[in-house]
Structure 1
Amino acid sequence: MTWSNPPRTSIRASRYLVASADHIATSAGNEMFARGGNAVDAAIATNAAIAVTGPHLCGMGGDLFALVHVDGEVFALNAAGRAGSGADAAALRDEGLTEMPFKLDIRSVTVPGCVDGWMALHERFGSLPLDVILAPAQRLAGEGFPASPLLAGMLPRLDEASRTNLVELVTQATHTGALVRRPGVALALSALATGGRDTFYRGLFGDGLIEIGNGLFTESDLATSQAEWVVPISTELFGVDVHTVGPSTQGYLTLGSGRLVDQLVSSGLLPKDPKDDHWAHLLIEASTAAGRDRPERLHQDADGDALVAEIAGRGGEIDPERASNRWAPHRDGDTTYLCTAGRGGDGRMMGVSLIQSNASGIGSHLVEPNTGINLHNRGMGFSLEAGHPGRLAPGRVPPHTLSAALATSGSDLVSVFGTMGGDAQPQILLQIATRLFHHGQSPAMSINAGRWALKGPQTGFDTWTGAGGPGIAVEGHASGAWAQGLAERGHRVETSPEWDSGFGHAHAIVIEPNGGLSGAADPRTVVGSCSGG
């Protein structure tokens, strides 16, 4: 496989598959299956490995969400970190700020939930010992790993303050293939593997976080687990049941916009050929109808099922022919997604859809000093508006863009799928779900197809808040009819290069009717892979 010539067929296996944005991490997941572990063991191992090799995407200093299907049931995990006890929106407003700082400010850092997410997954569903699961990641951190093209390519673009903070990465990942060691991360993984969550949150990492927070975090903040098992939100789309994690994530937008497209299918309006610009137009209309009020509606206490039902009633907002150009009143994200599915040593089929993030690329560009773990900037999702339901306050969880998905039919697992992509995640998932479940395309066809995405003016997180509203970005290898046709329908269109990672790193695994598995990893990752046995 090459980036310019991605695989055109899905990867197939009889027992298990792992798909991730880094082939090294995929190998760690496969190792767990080979040892008799299950899909949760494989997901944790894959995530831990890419937390080492992909600090530009995710890491132990970020947050995590997951869906698990086992024994006919779907379980949802929200491991989003809470704001520290010292969080003070009024102080930020007094400084003249109207939005949360984007980077290089500890006040946009919440307590990272990733490690608590691993622990919750392992305690409930893991089958292998934690030290076995974390061993591949620990080896990578201690012995070193080759820098990926994306990691080596982004570091030179950092400003001087960020380069100073991230000196461990900057001085090692100087070119593709350069050996990178992360001894502090190796130490944290080793302690976690044998001593549990307190060796992380109340050990060297926790001590360093309190130090750099300078009053923002307390020992009590770190003593409380950030992971919570929640009821997934679900809806029927294209003949299957699609599940996601509810607020504080924006996954409800995938379900809501999918309901609108399903209505278009029932009314005969959706073209049979996704290459038709009318197909792209209608999905865009559904996405803007769903997301136009996200800044006001998405917060930790929102009712996800009610939001999906409300969006499903917005069919009248869709103009079948012209762009509605709606957006919220004025007021390039990186993440990693991975999925695993297969039969473990006990013979049970299990599927995991897991998304884990530093938020904006390398996160806050701040580093916990004792371990060198870079910290996310998920707190940027908070509102500084007094009384806003998504406001910054101690112990609150910020609105999240992360949107993992899982599909079932009755009690049977159909697919695990998801993507990174900031605000664009629900739009990418809508396109993939429509291709997979309505058009019956294979995972590879659905993942490889060119995409469109709503695009804000600057960051990948300002789709619904940027002045002028979102434009439409069309990927270079998308249907040749899209760009011109969408422009003629009134959309503000710009084209992007082929295989642009700004259109997400999506992966999917599908359980076939004969019980086998087929899957695909996104070529836009450059080094991603899907493999199994």
Structure 2
Amino acid sequence: MPNKGGIAVKNIMPMSYKNLVAAPHYLASQVGTQILGRGGNAMDASVAVSAALGVVYPHMTGIGGDAFFMIHHKGTISGFNGSGRSGHLATREYYLNKGCNAIPGRGVESAITVPGMADAWWEVWSRYGKLSWMELLQPAIEYAEEGFPISRDLHHWMVTDEELIRASEPMSRVFLENGKLKNPGDRLVQPALAASLKSLQLDGRDAFYKGALMKAMTEAIGRDGGLLREEDFHRHHGEWVEPLTVNYRGYDVFEMPPNSQGFSALMMLNMLENADMGKIPRHSADFYHLAVETIKQVFTERDRYLTDPLFAADIPMEKLLSKAYAKELFAKISKIDGAPMDVKPHLSPVLGQDTAYAAIVDAEGNGVSFIQSLYYDFGSCYMAGDTGIIFQNRGSYFSLDADHVNTLEPMKRSFHTLMPAMISKDGALYALLGTQGGEGQPQTQLSLITGLLDYGLTIAEAIELPRWVYGRTWGMDNDVLRMENRCPETEEAACELAFRGHQVQLFGSWDRIMGQAQGIVIDGNGLRSGAVDPRGDGMAISS
């Protein structure tokens, strides 16, 4: 297809008829390629890559966090929800009695949901794996034990969170040397994390949820004033789920069901199907206006309903994903007529950002689209004792308002930002894609999918399109449309959008506020093309 985006591609786009791995850190991509080279399948490789990312990208992800996997195997697409539930002691009253009006964003009291990642690895491997469990965790253990060079992205967040790192003695032992932060390229060794991963390697998932490692974590949490207990870990199990899907321009797009926000991207696509997007210039004010106003309508619906479905009286998913309802919502968008508009904001609660997304396709046609996170950068910034495990602070997103749909209750899953995606065409796998960045995840997916299906771009071109993010994301507490200022049309579009009533802020050409996306596309001849985000430290590797 012709390149209608008018952009210069910043990095190469590997192609293969066999294996392809695209991950946000080059060492993790190499691990995936090695596993595939040993005869493992895409599911084996996804577990190994996921574990490696938890070591080499500890600011974004780790065994103390959650993970979602979407798997294409023999023509069937399934999903695994590896998100954890709040502990049985985690109640609104606990925080309200302490005078809190919100759950703390950092520290042991923000680490109130059981990490689901280790269980997710075990389930994916148990159902689909070909290689041994021990083989899959060995690369991560070696990187934790022997060390690896600190990347630019990891160092940026080490600097950003230096005060929090210094406040934690276990984290200081990892990230400081002679009282100073380590530098880019310095060797980062994590012996305590290596020991924890070895326990998991030897004893399987039970090491994390029932064994000595679990006891070490819960004893530290209890001693430090946290709320997770042994029974919370004993109780944890992720679940296999059926992905949600809508058809967009003849392609079937798949997302994870609640508690994931995946359905929001499907709603956006349904709405934009009412416009001839291919005739609207991608860098124009008209494009951004339609995208942002669509996002506002969908986020209103998302924030009204999204929570753990086991605690919701009704999430009307059939209605939310119907074409008829999309047409109703689309009709509410102010028209494109060049005149000033009554543009209204939509303010969601502020979401965390740090996430790692990766995609893998093997020679047999299996594909895995998976994403994992600690929620904020370095999660809770709480490391449990001598385990080397940084806990997520996903539970800090729960509300203390009893009437809020996402109110805190014991043994409940929170509204979850993680949303890996897949696309098929006539039953054949076409694309795997996803991105980092809380509130930005459905927005960047919208950019990628319209880039592929409306503007005829390659996956590399779609990832490298100038991006935007609307709303209260990445810790910024205001209603602003943030746009990358990279092509000549951007400033013109920004001026026009401001005239129409949008609050616009221009950012740098490749700003990390836009997150890091990865993706793989498979054409009708079986050719795989992969790309990673230039904003990160990743690599797409074919074999």
Do Structure 1 and Structure 2 share a fold, with TM-score over 0.5? Answer: yes
Partner of 2:34: 31
- Equivalent residue, structure 1, for 2:534: 523
Partner of 1:74: 77
Evaluate the alpha carbon distance shift between residue 28 and residue 329 of structure 1 in structure 2; reply closer, same or farther with a 3 A threshold.
closer
Report the secondary structure of 1:401's partner residue: coil
* Separation (CA, whole Å) in 1 of partners of 2:349 and 2:46: 39
Does the 8 Å CA contact 1:19/1:521 hold for their aligned counterparts? yes
Question: For the residues of structure 1 that align with 2:153 and 2:174, how far apart are their CA atoms?
Answer: 13
1:273-422 matches, within 5 Å, as 273-301=281-309, 302-309=315-322, 310-311=325-326, 313-321=328-336, 322=341, 324-328=343-347, 333-343=353-363, 348-422=364-438
Q: Write out per-residue CA displacement over residues 144-164 of structure 1, whole angstroms, 9 at most, x where no aligned residue.
A: 111111212222332535323
> For this pair of structures, how many residues does the alignment match?
514
Contact 1:89–1:392 (8 Å) recurs in 2? yes
Alignment of 1:48-67 (within 5 A): 48-67=51-70
CA distance in 2, matches of 1:396, 1:530: 36
Give me the whole-angstrom Cα distance separating, in 1, the residues matched to 2:501 and 2:253.
31
CA RMSD of aligned residues (A): 2.0
SS at structure 2 position matched to 1:98: coil
Give 1:434's match in structure 2, choosing from 447, 450, 466: 450
Q: Which residue of 2 aligns with 1:475?
A: 484
1:510 matched residue in structure 2: 521
- The residue identity in structure 1 corresponding to 2:77 is V
Q: Describe the superposition over 1:410-450 as per-residue Cα deviations: whole angstroms up to 9, x where unpaired.
A: 32101000001111110110111001122221001000111
- Cα distance per residue 1:71-102 (max 9 Å; x no partner): 11110111100101111111212333232211
Equivalent residues of 2:23, 2:532 under 8 A apart: yes
What is the aligned counterpart of 1:208 among 216, 220, 224? 216
For each residue in 1:106-163, what CA deviation from the matched residue of structure 2 results, as whole angstroms up to 9, or x when unmatched? 2443100011111111111111111111111111011111111121222233253532
What is the distance in 1 between the residues matched to 2:24 and 2:9?
14
1:19 partner letter:
A
Task: State the distance in 2 between where 1:420 and 1:327 align.
Answer: 21
Distance 1:515 1:323, change over 3 A: farther
Aligned-residue identity in percent: 30
Give the SS at the match of 2:67.
Answer: strand
1-side partners of 2:454 and 2:19: how far apart? 25
C-alpha separation in 1, matches of 2:320 and 2:173: 44
In the alignment, residue 509 of structure 1 is paired with which amino acid? Answer: I
Whether the aligned pair in 1 keeps the contact of 2:510 and 2:535 (CA below 8 Å) is: yes
Distance in 1 (CA, whole Å) between partners of 2:221 and 2:278 is: 51
Residue 304 to residue 33, structure 1, CA distance change in 2 (3 Å): farther
Q: CA contact under 8 A between 1:447 and 1:522: conserved in structure 2? A: yes
Query: Which one of the candidate residues 209, 219, 232 is aligned to 1:221?
Result: 232
Gaps of at least 5 residues in structure 1 are: none
Deviation at 1:11, TM superposition (A): 1.7
Query: Match of 1:391, SS?
Result: coil
Secondary structure, in 3 states, of the residue corresponding to 1:273?
coil
Q: 1: distance between equivalents of 2:205 and 2:465?
A: 41
Q: Shift in Å at residue 307 of structure 1?
A: 2.8
Counterpart of 1:167 in structure 2 is: 172
* More moved, 502-511 vs 387-396: 387-396
Equivalent position amino acid for 1:35 in 2: R
Maintained 8 Å contact 1:168/1:372 = no
Q: Which residue of 1 aligns with 2:5?
A: none
Residue type of the alignment partner of 1:364: S
CA apart distance, 1:316: 1.3
**Counterpart selection for 1:460 from 464, 469, 474:** 474
CA–CA distance in 1 between the matches of 2:343 and 2:27?
A: 44
How has the CA–CA distance of structure 1 residues 330 and 407 changed in structure 2, closer, same or farther, with 3 Å as cutoff?
A: closer
Letter in structure 1 aligned against 2:176: T
Report the CA distance shift for 1:108/1:199 in structure 2 as closer, same or farther (over 3 A).
closer
1:178 matched to 2:186: yes
The 3 A distance-change label for structure 1 pair 308 and 493 is same
Letter in 2 for 1:216: L
TM-score (norm 1): 0.92
Q: Could you tell me how far 1:103 is from its partner in structure 2?
A: 1.1
Greater shift, 156-165 or 403-412, is seen at 156-165
In the TM superposition, what is the alpha-carbon distance from 1:396 to its structure 2 partner?
Answer: 0.3
Secondary structure in structure 1 of the residue aligned to 2:366: strand
Distance 1:229 1:303 in 2: 21
Q: Mark the CA change 1:407 to 1:460 in structure 2 (over 3 Å): closer, same or farther.
A: same
Report the AA paired with residue 36 of structure 1. Answer: G
Q: Which runs of 5+ in 2 are unaligned?
A: 1-7, 310-314
Contact 1:57 1:357 in 2 (8 A): yes
Q: Assess, with a 3 A threshold, how the Cα gap between structure 1 residues 223 and 128 changes in structure 2: closer, same or farther.
A: same
Corresponding residue number in structure 1 for 2:467: 451
Offset of 1:177 from its aligned partner? Answer: 0.7
SS at structure 1 position matched to 2:99 = coil
Deviations 1:171-199 (A, max 9, x none): 15611110011112211222222211111
1:262 matched to 2:273: yes
* Contact 1:106–1:213, Cα closer than 8 Å, also in 2: no
Letter in 2 for 1:341: V
Shift in alpha-carbon separation, 1:396–1:329, aligned structure 2, 3 A: closer
TM-score of the aligned structures, taking structure 2 as reference length: 0.90
Instruction: Please state whether the residue corresponding to 2:356 is helix, strand or coil.
Output: strand
> Could you say if the C-alpha distance between residues 485 and 208 of structure 1 is closer, same or farther in structure 2, counting changes exceeding 3 Å?
farther
Residue of structure 2 in register with 1:249 after alignment? 260
Question: Are the equivalent residues in 1 in contact too, given 2:347–2:479 (CA < 8 A)?
Answer: no
CA separation of 1:145 and 1:9: change in aligned 2, threshold 3 A: closer
Aligned to 1:532: 542
Query: C-alpha separation between the residues in 2 aligned to 1:182 and 1:323?
Result: 53
